[in-house]
Amino acid sequence: MSDATEFPPLPDRLSIDPDSPHFVAAVFEHDVGIRLNGKERKDVQEYCISEGWVTVPAGKTLDRKGNPLMIKIKGKVEPFFK
């Protein structure tokens, strides 16, 4: 008896922002983790596997609309389900 749940396939590019065209609600029904260069990151806002980058907030800095200012970090991106 296996109770293995079926996970949706992880897209090449994914964002947690619901207004983004790269937001996929079905993926966020499960816990998603991101490894960048072998280390798990918990503050990733968006990732792209093929281009090898993630975006993360730059500290407490805000843009003029009050959203966190994002920086792009490059490396080997590995998304996974927890």
* Residue 48 scores a pLDDT above 90: yes
Does 8 reside within a domain? Answer: no
* Max Cα distance, the chain (Å): 54
- CA 23, CA 17: separation in Å to the nearest integer? 6
Average pLDDT over residues 43-67: 94
The tally of domains found in the chain comes to: 1
pTM of the model: 0.81
Q: Which residue has the higher pLDDT, 1 or 58?
A: 58
pLDDT range class, residue 1, cuts 50, 70, 90: very low
Angstrom distance (rounded) from CA 17 to CA 4: 28
Q: Which amino acid is at 43?
A: D
Residue 55 belongs to what domain range?
Answer: 13-81
Measured CA to CA, the distance from residue 80 to residue 30 in angstroms comes to: 10
pLDDT at 77 over 50: yes
Q: Residue 82: what pLDDT? A: 86
Q: Is residue 2 a part of any domain in this protein? A: no
